[in-house]
Structure formats: structure tokens, C-alpha cells
Chain A
Amino acid sequence: MDNIAGQKSSLSIVTNLCVLFLVLLWLVPTVGLLVSSFRDREQISQSGWWMAMFPVEQAFRVQPEADGVRQDGDLYVLEGNVFGTGSGSVAAFGITSRNPGAAETGQTYGRLKLEVRDSDGELDTENYETAWPADGAPEVPETDEDGRPVEGYSIDRALTMAPNGDFTWVQEGEIRRPPTLYVVAKQPPEFGLQNYELILYSNNMDRAFINTMTVTIPATIIPILIAAFAAYALAWMDFSGRQFLIAMVVGLLVVPLQLALVPLLTLHNKVGIGQSFLGIWLAHTGFGLPLAIYLLRNYMVGLPRDIIESAKVDGATDFQVFTKIVLPLSFPALASFAIFQFLWTWNDLLVAKVFLPSNSESWVMTVKIADDLLGSRGGDWGILAAAAFVSIAVPLLVFFAMQKYLVRGLLAGSVK
């Protein structure tokens, strides 16, 4: 289509943009979680991951040292800086946890005691919180909420804050305990491995990681050997019933795993394997065999006939032909299947839930995430994201390193 005059450039721009859009669409979910797994857990809930590079407004509580209190008339005054020796930038501040960002910097925020006249003529006091300019005086309403006239006020406590964190705390009584101040400050973005440390060292994810490894490696290696011999027999040996067996393997490719769960678990329990690692290795071996035989046979059938026949003429037995010629030549197919089986057993949840014991000692990572973390750590995205990437990292590594073989295997398995 490139040679249609006048259409090429505009079409290729559109194509580029479309592909870019699709790639971004496909990447965004993963990138979001990846970014979040490195963010500070407080910050995750304060701003979206797409804002992760920008400072976050965070409210926190400060209790300054009650040193250097001086008396000013009836009032006691404490001065200092909320950042201590550090530095920062205050956006807003307050004196209660209900409203930590009640006033802006440059203002004073305080609690006043209003003197109000009751309907029966008695003087009553009432608390009233407001903000006013630091160099001015508070404005008080003429009547309170119930409509009683306000006749005067006194300051109970007040806080003045400059943007750099300098504050002045004023209080009616003596300052015995340090006051509690609330500050909303811009925090620089924080990235780190805390989530990963937390999930690995105190949440038993390391155990789950080792369990996943323990399940995966034998379950990948053992079926390859068994399948390779069978595939050779189906590809290069003549015997009656061969066609039927190949058809059976193709049929078994699509048998739903679900069928196997109950009968095999019952069987495992009867012969004493029960729910155990041995059980899951056997199960994965059985379930992986049809694909292994199918892929390997398809590949072996395509090997050049001359090599194999001349070897046989020279007196090689089938066993020698297989081990010396066919097996080394089939390396790409073996690699393809190994990757498939590795990804499949590593990522499997169903077989692990059924064939492994359900105690937390033998949880693999998928079970750990689905049954434990999603429930108990439901909203803790720092932990969840880190856990997800601990479990995804190895398959992704394998995927990008061995993509060539994976694609080749997919093609051999489907388009043949």
C-alpha cells in the first residue's frame, strides 16, 4: 500500500499515533502499579501515581519542645519552627486534627472564649474558632449561633505560622505540656524500597517466593523428558495406533483442568500423597504433557528425514538417534515448552489452591496475594503493588530474555 501516491505520509502518521495510543493503553495499568510500589505509602493515598514526580501536600502533627516559654501579659507564648532543624514549606496549618489545614500562612488561627449574655441575663462563655490576619485582631460575630449577643472575648489559644515554619503559640494558661500543632506541608516525592522490604521481611512473601520456585522448577523439568521420548515415538517410529494417539493428545490439549481436580485429589489422598509438593509436581507434569508432546512432535516431524535415516542405516538404534540427533536438534522446541510450562506453573492459582496444603507455610505467591493480601491488606496499595511485582518480576525477566522462543512455540502450537 506504500506506493499509492499522496496517501503514504498522512496514513503513516495516523498509524504511528494509533499504535502509540494502543501501546500506552496497554502499558498504563502496569506502569501505574510499578510506580506506586516504589512510592511512600502515605503519599500513595494523597496523590495519584501520575503525579508521583510532584510534591505532595501532606498533613502531619508536630509537638515542639516547650523550651523558651515566655510570659506576655496574661498570656504565655512559645516560639519555634515546626520543621525543627530541617526545612520545608508550610501550605496551611491548624490546631485540631479535625481541620489540620484550617488557616493559611501569615494568618493567626485560634480558639476564642466569647462572652455571651443569656436570655435570663447571666454571662456565659462559649468556644469559637476563627482565623485572622497575623497583625490584626480577630473579628467576632455580634451574636452567637443561638442568637445571644456577644459582649466580649478573650483568647484561649492561638497559633501564628509563617511559610518557613516559624510559629508563635499563645495560650491563656501556663504551658506545661508542649502544644500539638497541625501542619499541611508540601512534601517532596519520596521513592524507596520500603514497600518491598516490608512485604519480603515481615509479610512472609519471601517464603511464598521460595514455595513458588519449589513448585515451578521440578514441574518444568520433569514433563520435558517424558514428553520428548513420547514425541519422538509419535514423530519417527512406525506403529499401529500412532494416528489415534496423536489425535488423543490433540484432544487432551483442551480438556478443562477443572475436571481433574476432584478425582485426582481423592486419588492423591487415597495413595497417601495428599495435598503436598509431590502432589502438585505430579499434577503439573500430567497437565503439561499434552502441550509438551504436541509442540515437540510438531517440531521433530519437521526435522530433515535424511539425517535420521542415514543414522539408522549406519546402525544407530532408535535410542541413539533420539539422544544423539533428535534431542539436540530439538533444542528450540524444548526451550519453547520450558518457557510455557514455567510461566504457566509460576502463574498458576487453581492447581496450587487444590493440590497444595492450605496452611500459610505452603502458600505460593499467587495464593498468598489472592487469598491473604487482597483480603487483609485490601487498601494498602504500597504493599499490594510491591507484592504484585515480586511475583511478576521473574516471569517478566524470562519473558523478555526468551521472547524469541516463546513466539516460536506459540506459532508452532497454533498455526501448524
Chain B
Amino acid sequence: MIEFRTVTKQFPDGTVAVDALDLVIPARQTTVLVGSSGSGKTTILRMINRMVDKTSGDIEIDGEDIYSLNPVKLRRSIGYVMQNSGLLPHRKVVDNVATVPMLNGVKKADAREAALTLLDTVGLDRQLAERYPSQLSGGQQQRVGVARGLAADPNILLMDEPFGAVDPIVRAELQQELVRIQRELGKTIVFVTHDIDEAFLLGDQVVLLEKGGRIAQAGTPADILSKPASDFVATFIGADRGRRALRVEVVNGRSVVVDEDGRPTGVLQS
């Protein structure tokens, strides 16, 4: 469990990116931080592994203040996946995945062996292991990024718009893959995105952020859909434009679900 207590982040130029944030991120679930740019979502994510230092407040992981830990050790115990994969271009795929275990002192041969298994986990052909990142497609690189994030078997996985830079078809694939991996591994995932559909798809808990890192609403996707807390939330999830307003029409004696434009999306099972 990750806990933010009245955490504030003010950058040197004076902008307050996060203002007195209180947030509990439950263990072994996926929490999605969603908001438009400037909402402080990435800053919040990066405060968890101290890539960004808080200005005030408390951040705890499982009851332990992260500021009592060495930041480098802290980061090695937390998986991190970012947009554009952030792979090291001078290391082969397998060595990229093995990086963190090797930093933790695991022997090279063992780390590489484990890395190959992880490539299986994220659905990558082992033949790609000996290539350099630049020889992979964007989607493949992103999978390697996920494998690398998982390599040290961390309890927590931070994902910063990991699928933001790939095309929609690959993105859908990667999202499904993440859902599967999470079902198998049950990590505490904190996922940042600006795509509300992605948030609803992946999140057990969705945290909708307004400017300055203020929480507009936090809850399950169903909570947010059924009871938007404010006009801002309704606008953000598209409810105000009738988006997500599904209707049921009876066709040929069955209940067909129809979207806001009247296009059928599925059939209700009784």
C-alpha cells in the first residue's frame, strides 16, 4: 500500500504541481492516475520512487516513510516503465531486462536466464533477446520495457503512459497483455495516462486529477461512471456529451445494448 498524506510539490519556478494530496493506493491492485497535461499525474507517480522530491507531506510504502530509505535502493525495488520505453540503446534486449537484477548483485548468467523467462511472460520471442533496442518495433520495445520493470520482481510497478507512443492496434494488444500479466502476478501497479478509456479498462481504482494534482474523483470505474462527482468529471469522461450513455433496445425479443449514436455494441445476457 502506498500512502500520500498532504503531499505538496512545488517546482523551483514556482508552479505548484501537486497541492496537499491525500491518496491511498491499495496493494496488489491497479490504480490509474488520469488527467490532462499539467494535472500533476506524472509528478505524483515520480514522487513514489523519488525521481521527484516532495516539497512537504508524507509518502509511505507499507507504513514506511520512503524518505527513510536510500533513493537508489528504493528505485531498485520498484519497477518503472515509461513512454518510449527508455531502454538503454547500447545494451541488447536481454541485458536491458537483466539490468536491475544485476544492479542488485545477481550474477550475470542468472540475470540473463531470468530475463529470457520474462520475455516469455511479456509475450516476446526469445530470438529478439540478442538484438539492440533500435532493431525492435515500438510495440516490442514497450514489451521489453514492461519485462525490465518486472525483472527485479518488485511489489510495485510504476507505469508512466507506457502505451502512449504506440499505434492504437498495438496499444490495445499491450493493454490486454497487461491485464493478463496483472491477473497472473498481482502487483501494485500505479499507471499514469491521459486516456480515460485506458483508465477504465485497466484500473481497479481510477483517480481523476484536476490541475494542480487535486483529486476530482477517485473510485472504481463503475463508481465514476454511475456518479460523476462534478461537472469536470462528467466532461472528462464524456458523460455530458452523452458518451457512455448506453441504452437497451429490444430487437427480435432480445435486449440489445446501443451506444450514444444508436450503434449496437452487444446483447444483454439474462
The answer to whether A and B assemble together is no
